[in-house]
Amino acid sequence: AQTVTQSQPEMSVQEAETVTLSCTYDTSESNYYLFWYKQPPSRQMILVIRQEAYKQQNATENRFSVNFQKAAKSFSLKISDSQLGDTAMYFCAFMESNDMRFGAGTRLTVKP
């Protein structure tokens, strides 16, 4: 079974600085998808970024980028120029054949 591990339960960063959230996963599959979701206090789950395992190029979405290391089964999220609105729980997710598994989440606080 696939497992997703987020080793940082909580993190904080100063506004405008950069922070990296870690995620590792375990799988024997070669084709899969990886995602980062954000859950602010409103509890809405918001897709932040996605990565297809067959793509070597790291995905980027504005201030959000990933460092995908397939051999190491690592998928970290970098948030640049952190904003107060980035304060939220961040979940790493692994999906193969429509079966999505989530990590336990990292609570990120952006401090003014």
Partner 1 sequence: DAGVIQSPRHEVTEMGQEVTLRCKPISGHNSLFWYRQTMMRGLELLIYFNNNVPIDDSGMPEDRFSAKMPNASFSTLKIQPSEPRDSAVYFCASSSPGQGRHEQYFGPGTRLTVT
Q: Which residues bind partner 1 (CB under 8 A)?
A: 33, 35, 37, 42-47, 50, 91, 95, 98-105
* In the block, residue with structure tokens 């375990």: 26
Indicate the residue among 47 and 84 with the shorter CB distance to partner 1: 47
Q: How far is the CB of 45 from partner 1 (least distance, A)?
A: 4
3-class DSSP assignment, residue 84: helix
Report which of 105, 91, 99, 83 is spatially closest to residue 27, judged by C-alpha positions. 99
The number of beta carbons lying within 10 Å of the beta carbon of residue 13 is 17
Indicate the residue among 82 and 105 with the shorter CB distance to partner 1: 105
Indicate the residue among 16 and 45 with the shorter CB distance to partner 1: 45
Q: Residue 93 half-sphere exposure, CB side, CA atoms within 13 Å?
A: 21
Q: How far is the CB of 88 from partner 1 (least distance, A)?
A: 14
Q: How far is the CB of 40 from partner 1 (least distance, A)?
A: 12
